[in-house]
Amino acid sequence: MKPAAFDYLAADSLDAAAAALSRAGGDGKVLAGGQSLMPMLNFRLVRPSILIDINRIPGLAYIEATDNAVRVGALTRHHAIETSPVVKAHLPVLTAAMQHVAHLAIRNRGTIGGSLSHADPAAELPMMALLLDARIAIQSYGGRRTEQARDFFVGSLATSLGEDEIVTDVEFPRLAPGTGWAFEEVARRSGDFALAAVGVTISVRDGKADQVRIGMMGVGETPLRAPQAEALLSGRTVDGALLDEAVASVRSVVEPNSDLHASGEYRRHLVGVLARRAIETAWRRAIGDLQ
């Protein structure tokens, strides 16, 4: 329950961190909020030769609205996102999801860059990045690149990040004013990892559902979208029969695992229940039936 020995570098710039990571040749780990990495170190599930602490790098924690997006620095803590008026104004579904992220002491430390890089399939931020078509900016010693969230998550606790790459910021396109949204989650205990959760955004055009997005988590190796159900809803008026179709579609595309906390079948059932609630709530918000 104590970490194995490692060298420690408190990096003072992204360049220094990337250089150290490159030098470590795959044997280094980036320490951001530490809320996933520290338990893994304590259990000795990971034994890096060097830990590169990015907490002292200035200018990595910010939330700013641009013309059409909200940019969030990698070192921004969960509590800052949870309480940000900018996020609430432009991405209210993200504010709602943040209410489900762990407990205050974890939210005070945990970071968005860390959560995305760790890529837990039952964590809220990776799913929100996927739902909201976020663009993830990445730096290595050699240069910079960006990747869409849909290409970033490749498996359980696995991303497309190279061993010498660090997430630097995340850009969420703003939701258009009037977009309906909802986030529904079930966990055993408030703040625990979700058994399943669903996030939805819907616009309305000529009285019909438009630009429907459905994100799911806890029901696969990565956070998932439900493109078939999204297509099913688009261009139609949401009613009970259509909700039934959408729920059946969502349940048919997931293959949840069984574990100590819930069976795969229970999770499949649950994701349908949550999808129904979320789609209905998002639709009602979109048509102005619900604030």
Instruction: Give contact residues for another protein (rule: CB under 8 A).
Output: 1-8, 10, 31, 34-35, 38-39, 41-43, 51, 53, 55, 79, 102-106, 108-109, 189-191
Q: 196 pairs with which residues across the strands?
A: 186
Count of C-beta atoms within a 10 Å radius of residue 37: 21
- Looking at the Cβ atoms of 5 and 260, the one nearer to another protein is 5
> Which region holds residue 276: left if phi is over 0, alpha if psi is between -120 and 50, else beta?
alpha
Distances (CA, A) of 246 to 96, 97, 230, 271, 276: 23, 22, 8, 11, 8
Report in angstroms how near the CB of residue 79 gets to another protein at its nearest. 7
Report in angstroms how near the CB of residue 228 gets to another protein at its nearest. 35
The two tokens of residue 140 are 């290595």
- Looking at the Cβ atoms of 22 and 55, the one nearer to another protein is 55
- Looking at the Cβ atoms of 162 and 191, the one nearer to another protein is 191
- 75: Cβ contacts below 8 Å, ≥ 6 apart: 32, 54, 55, 57, 60, 61, 111, 113
Report in angstroms how near the CB of residue 281 gets to another protein at its nearest. 20
- Looking at the Cβ atoms of 55 and 228, the one nearer to another protein is 55
Pick the closest to residue 213 from 131, 127, 115 (CA basis). Answer: 131
- Looking at the Cβ atoms of 47 and 208, the one nearer to another protein is 47
- 165: Cβ contacts below 8 Å, ≥ 6 apart: 18, 21, 138, 139, 140
CA torsion angle for 39, 41, 46, 50 (degrees, to 10)? 140
Report in angstroms how near the CB of residue 157 gets to another protein at its nearest. 16
Pick the closest to residue 80 from 93, 97, 65, 61 (CA basis). Answer: 61
- Looking at the Cβ atoms of 36 and 159, the one nearer to another protein is 36
* CA 187 to chain CA centroid, nearest Å: 16
Report in angstroms how near the CB of residue 2 gets to another protein at its nearest. 7
- Looking at the Cβ atoms of 32 and 229, the one nearer to another protein is 32
Report in angstroms how near the CB of residue 265 gets to another protein at its nearest. 27
Report in angstroms how near the CB of residue 92 gets to another protein at its nearest. 19
CA atoms within 13 A on the CB side of 206: 3
